[in-house]
Chains A and B, each alone.
Chain A
Amino acid sequence: MFFNSDVLRHVAGRIRRAGAILALSITMWSGCPGIAAHAGSFEDDVALLAARSFTESETAVTHLQVSGNPLAYPIISALKDGRLYAEEDSKKVFIKGPDGKIIDAANGQSVGALPDGAGVVRLNNRLRRTIDAALGSLTLLSPDVSVRVRAAQSVFKNHEESSLAPLDAALKNESNDAARKALTAARAAVILFKADASEADKLDAITIIKARGDQEALALLSGLPGDMSPAVARAATAAMTSIKGNLALWSTVQNAWYGLSLGSVLLLAAIGLAITFGVMGVINMAHGEMVMVGAYTTFVVQETIRTSYPTAFDYSLLIAVLLAFVVAGAIGVLIERTIIRFLYGRPLETLLATWGLSLILQQAVRTIFGPNNREVGNPSWMSGAFDIGQITITYNRLWILCFALTVFIILLAMLRFTRLGLEMRAVTQNRRMAASMGIATSRVDALTFGLGSGIAGVAGVALSQIDNVSPNLGQSYIIDSFMVVVFGGVGNLWGTLIGAFTLGIANKFLEPVAGAVLGKIAILVLIILFIQKRPRGLFALKGRAVDA
């Protein structure tokens, strides 16, 4: 809520002393003498609320709204929340604060307890609407910019004629650009719906609303009454068409962004798999569990930092990335040396053995950390969001996209420029030839598996920021990652990149059409059909290596 009883008492204490505030408020309202003239004294209006009649309460609210008295807001919001009590005989009205403190509504003084005869002032729907409108215009003057913007939004939606005067007053003093924009749009909405506004004013209003161009502007325009002048009606229709086109464009951009975001997650999850599968021909069903290990490493790092060095929390992810790579990579090397080494040339058995490993790893994590989701926090530079046009982009998704691309580029560079990369490529292309050239293929295998697992661990750090960290984390990605690898082919990493982003974007564009689940099924079916044309994926290995 916007206030608490401390604020109330503070305000109440100042009322008597600070006539200046009142004077200021009254000057603000002087732009609308017609309405202000209706108002009797503040105390009379408050007393109206004690009459227990909906009509009188409504009059009271409309009067309080323009009274300029600092108590008006607490009173009306208390009325809304059912915290306003009235005693019929003495015509006294009381506000009960959220913490149970009682205040006399007429003068803001503290009262020990509610009198026996006091009852809650009742509401009906009509009164509720009046209250919402009144609260909306009252908060237009709030010192907090975000409150002002929100108030302007609510006026924009309900476009009550009575809000015009407060809007004008607010606009006069407004210095913040965003708030000014919101207020102008709200004012345009009010003008548009005001019966006696001139045609020129209404046309101007439509232009302003059109410039706003979002879903709410569209809703506002389509809610216009039918008795508009032809020129206004035409302008409104044109504006609606333009807004619709604009919105369709933005929703495409939105889908594309979601697709890129999903694609980056898929890329992170699949890229390690592409390495182990591409180089070693090993299907690692425990790959998802490496991702999970990375996510739990993040959890452990954050817990340690929270308890020991709380100030370093923003660096937790950097530490976690390095540590997750080391931990998952070490587990990977261990698995390769103890199990997979003995299963080369038997891909189906490898698949089964690694599936068994995934069960063991999952259960181990469940035993150590418990079966429930673990809390992993966003560092400050990853929380929050910003707007571009009509879409909102969250920082964590943006960072993950950047991170995925960085990992991809580093890997690409590693394969291209380092000795291990060269050896890995040699082993991929022709294992026996590479061995004859003196490359220790078994060492390359171990390092490759470690690298693939390490990348999976790093992916886990990123995924911990957007997904639940639970023992099932890996399971949910394994089939999708396989789809990426099957689709992209194992020839080179570009296949994985293109596969991941194609699947991500296709998924997000199918989702609004077919629904999330059917979209996913459609993707799976499409991949099965795609395999018809290219059984070894988009970027297949060519030459003799294929049938190795």
Chain B
Amino acid sequence: MTSHFLTRSLDRSATVFLTIVAAVGVLLPLLNLLLPDTSILHVPTYLMTLFGKYVCYAVLALSIDLIWGYCGILSLGHGAFFALGGYAMGMYLMRQIGPRGVYADPVLPDFMVFLNWKSLPWYWQGFDMFWFAALMVVLVPGVLAFCFGWLAFRSRVTGVYLSIITQAMTYALLLGFFRNDFGFGGNNGLTDFKDILGFNVQAEGTRAALFTLSCLALAVSFLICRAVVGSKLGKVLIAIRDAESRTRFLGYRVESYKLFVFTLSACIAGVAGALYVPQVGIINPSEFAPGNSIEAVIWVAVGGRGTLVGAALGAVVVNYAKTLFTSGMLAPYWLFMLGALFVLVTLLLPKGIFGTWNAWRDARQVTGLTDDPHSATFEDGAVKPHMAE
């Protein structure tokens, strides 16, 4: 099935993208591990971890692009699914600490000993096994998205209403996870991890492996998303994006399509979060902050929504800019720039970097053939700037 989609739907940009991801995923760790520190080409571990973070963000951006770019669902709460996946992985990592914690309790994580809890809550059971945690990474965001989507789509909550409700969802989770008695470490979240699958999370080798895994996850989720949007299902999704009522009148069960793609997207976001946590070494409730989710949406907008490649690109570019500007003397101006990015991209660059570049390239090709650039932009059906609500 997958190979069929591969041969059919891999156009040039997708091939280039996958090649780059694969090359980076292999080369960066090699340059980090094999070359001596003195070499010019040596990649410091911090840089690799930083890029690992970006790759996880890129996966999150893909998941947002899948629903926003192809189905018109603007979720302002996707950070919640990301964080839930992260928490599931964090719980596994906490259980791996075992008796090496500050309080040396063989079972209970430090914060529970500190809160004077006597036994592990039921929802922490099973997280000492990796397969279970890995299942939960996908399942918890998936089930939440399914329930939430089922309620929302069935009663035809659409457009900005849905955006606001998703924002309220992540806000509610933020409030909940801040509480100590929720059992997820409260304000401090989960941190101080030691091992993952028996390997030290701090070790360079583990970090390199995690980086490669993140790149793999990016490639796999990219292929999954492509498979979805390239299939007949994907065509229906685009139809829903452009004219929801008409699609419904044509006999498609709009809510089922939306529910499927929303749940799938949440699962992908969960995986992104799970890979993110061991690399940054902490997960805390601030990941649920509504601002984070909106920021993730702007990555997609900057890269170009409805392009998948653009979304991943946008995540890396915006976050690299963020790292660059928040660390130097320009730090106080970063929010100005981020704000301006929101405004300018929506006003001047509705297709994003990648979408605009695509349109320009297509226009040039068509110009070569017909000398009429206007018809080309008109034909560009991949991204419609004027989207029906």
Q: Is B319 at the interface (CB under 8 A from chain A)?
A: no
CA A265 – CA B385 in complex, angstroms? 38
- Say yes or no: A283 contacts B164, CB within 8 Å: yes
Q: Is B386 at the interface (CB under 8 A from chain A)?
A: yes
B136-180 vs A, Cβ < 8 Å mask (1 yes, 0 no): 000000000000100110111101110111011101100110110
Number of interchain pairs (Cβ within 8 Å): 128
Q: Is B369 at the interface (CB under 8 A from chain A)?
A: no
- Say yes or no: B245 contacts A352, CB within 8 Å: no
Contacts of B294 in A (CB 8 A): 352, 355
- Say yes or no: A357 contacts B346, CB within 8 Å: no
Q: Is B290 at the interface (CB under 8 A from chain A)?
A: yes
| B71-125 residues at the A interface, CB under 8 angstroms | 72, 74, 76
Q: Is A342 at the interface (CB under 8 A from chain B)?
A: yes
CA A356 – CA B349 in complex, angstroms? 15
CA A157 – CA B136 in complex, angstroms? 57
Q: Is A360 at the interface (CB under 8 A from chain B)?
A: yes
Given the contacts A486-B164, A528-B151, A535-B155, A356 and B74 also touching, CB distance less than 8 Å: no
CA A358 – CA B342 in complex, angstroms? 10
CA A529 – CA B155 in complex, angstroms? 10
- Say yes or no: B156 contacts A535, CB within 8 Å: yes
Given the contacts A339-B343, A360-B339, A479 and B167 also touching, CB distance less than 8 Å: yes
Q: Which of B76, B178, B335 has the most CB of A within 10 A?
A: B335
Q: Is A363 at the interface (CB under 8 A from chain B)?
A: yes
Contacts of B332 in A (CB 8 A): 363, 366-367
- A514 → chain B closest CB, angstroms: 11
Residue of A nearest to B334 (CB): A363
Q: Is B329 at the interface (CB under 8 A from chain A)?
A: no
- Say yes or no: A531 contacts B165, CB within 8 Å: yes
- Say yes or no: A347 contacts B336, CB within 8 Å: no
- A472 → chain B closest CB, angstroms: 11
CA A356 – CA B335 in complex, angstroms? 9
Contacts of A350 in B (CB 8 A): 346
- Tell which of A348, A358, A528, A532 touches B387, judged by Cβ atoms closer than 8 Å: A348
- A124 → chain B closest CB, angstroms: 33
- Tell which of A283, A360, A524 touches B171, judged by Cβ atoms closer than 8 Å: A524
Contacts of B389 in A (CB 8 A): 347-348
- Say yes or no: B159 contacts A347, CB within 8 Å: yes
CA A50 – CA B345 in complex, angstroms? 83
- Tell which of A353, A367, A527, A528 touches B343, judged by Cβ atoms closer than 8 Å: A353
- Say yes or no: B346 contacts A343, CB within 8 Å: yes
- Tell which of B76, B159, B343 touches A357, judged by Cβ atoms closer than 8 Å: B343
Contacts of B152 in A (CB 8 A): 528, 531
Contacts of A529 in B (CB 8 A): 151
- Tell which of A283, A352, A360, A367 touches B346, judged by Cβ atoms closer than 8 Å: A352
Task: Give the size category of A's interface with B.
Answer: 35 or more
Q: Is A199 at the interface (CB under 8 A from chain B)?
A: no
CA A482 – CA B153 in complex, angstroms? 19
Contacts of B343 in A (CB 8 A): 339, 353, 356-357, 360
Given the contacts A356-B341, A482-B167, A347 and B155 also touching, CB distance less than 8 Å: no
Q: Is B261 at the interface (CB under 8 A from chain A)?
A: no
A273-311 vs B, Cβ < 8 Å mask (1 yes, 0 no): 000000000010000000000000000000000000000
Given the contacts A348-B163, A351-B74, A363-B336, A339 and B176 also touching, CB distance less than 8 Å: no
Q: Is B259 at the interface (CB under 8 A from chain A)?
A: no
- Say yes or no: B156 contacts A520, CB within 8 Å: no
Q: Is B275 at the interface (CB under 8 A from chain A)?
A: no
Q: Which of A348, A355, A363 has the most CB of B within 10 A?
A: A348
Given the contacts A347-B159, A349-B346, A482-B168, A517 and B386 also touching, CB distance less than 8 Å: no
- Say yes or no: A339 contacts B347, CB within 8 Å: yes
Q: Which of A345, A351, A525 has the most CB of B within 10 A?
A: A351
Q: Is A128 at the interface (CB under 8 A from chain B)?
A: no
CA A528 – CA B165 in complex, angstroms? 7
- Say yes or no: B176 contacts A517, CB within 8 Å: yes
Residue of A nearest to B290 (CB): A479
- A81 → chain B closest CB, angstroms: 37
Q: Is B298 at the interface (CB under 8 A from chain A)?
A: yes
Contacts of B164 in A (CB 8 A): 283, 482-483, 486
CA A536 – CA B346 in complex, angstroms? 26
Residue of B nearest to A483 (CB): B168
- Tell which of A353, A364, A524, A525 touches B342, judged by Cβ atoms closer than 8 Å: A353
- Say yes or no: A352 contacts B387, CB within 8 Å: no
Contacts of A352 in B (CB 8 A): 294, 297-298, 301, 342, 345-346
- A270 → chain B closest CB, angstroms: 12
- Say yes or no: B340 contacts A356, CB within 8 Å: yes
Contacts of B346 in A (CB 8 A): 343, 346, 349-350, 352-353, 356
- Tell which of A356, A364, A527, A531 touches B338, judged by Cβ atoms closer than 8 Å: A356
- Say yes or no: B340 contacts A535, CB within 8 Å: no
- Say yes or no: B172 contacts A521, CB within 8 Å: yes
Q: Which of A346, A355, A521, A527 has the most CB of B within 10 A?
A: A355
CA A362 – CA B357 in complex, angstroms? 33
Contacts of B148 in A (CB 8 A): 528
- Say yes or no: A517 contacts B175, CB within 8 Å: yes
CA A442 – CA B160 in complex, angstroms? 22
- Say yes or no: B347 contacts A343, CB within 8 Å: yes
- A283 → chain B closest CB, angstroms: 5
CA A483 – CA B148 in complex, angstroms? 17
CA A482 – CA B161 in complex, angstroms? 9
- Tell which of A349, A359, A520 touches B172, judged by Cβ atoms closer than 8 Å: A520
Given the contacts A347-B389, A482-B164, A531 and B155 also touching, CB distance less than 8 Å: yes
CA A352 – CA B346 in complex, angstroms? 7
- Tell which of A345, A346, A363, A486 touches B335, judged by Cβ atoms closer than 8 Å: A363
Contacts of A531 in B (CB 8 A): 151-152, 155, 157, 161, 165
- Say yes or no: B342 contacts A528, CB within 8 Å: no
Residue of B nearest to A548 (CB): B389
Q: Which of B74, B178, B297, B339 has the most CB of A within 10 A?
A: B339
| B210-237 residues at the A interface, CB under 8 angstroms | none
Contacts of B176 in A (CB 8 A): 517-518, 521
Contacts of A345 in B (CB 8 A): 386
- Say yes or no: B339 contacts A356, CB within 8 Å: yes
Contacts of A283 in B (CB 8 A): 160, 163-164
Q: Is B350 at the interface (CB under 8 A from chain A)?
A: yes
Residue of B nearest to A537 (CB): B161
Which residues of B approach A to under 8 Å, CB–CB? 68, 72, 74, 76, 148, 151-152, 154-157, 159-161, 163-165, 167-169, 171-172, 175-176, 178-179, 245, 290, 294, 297-298, 301, 332-333, 335-336, 338-343, 345-347, 350, 385-387, 389
Which residues of A approach B to under 8 Å, CB–CB? 283, 339, 342-343, 345-353, 355-360, 362-364, 366-367, 479, 482-483, 486, 517-518, 520-521, 524-525, 527-529, 531-533, 535-536, 547
Q: List 8 A-B contacts (CB under 8 A).
A: A346-B387, A356-B342, A363-B332, A363-B335, A483-B164, A517-B179, A518-B179, A524-B169
For the complex of A and B, 5 pairs with smallest distance between CB atoms:
A356-B342, A359-B339, A360-B339, A363-B335, A356-B339
- Known contacts A346-B386, A356-B340; 10 further A-B pairs (Cβ under 8 A): A339-B347, A347-B160, A356-B298, A356-B339, A359-B335, A359-B336, A482-B168, A486-B161, A527-B168, A528-B151
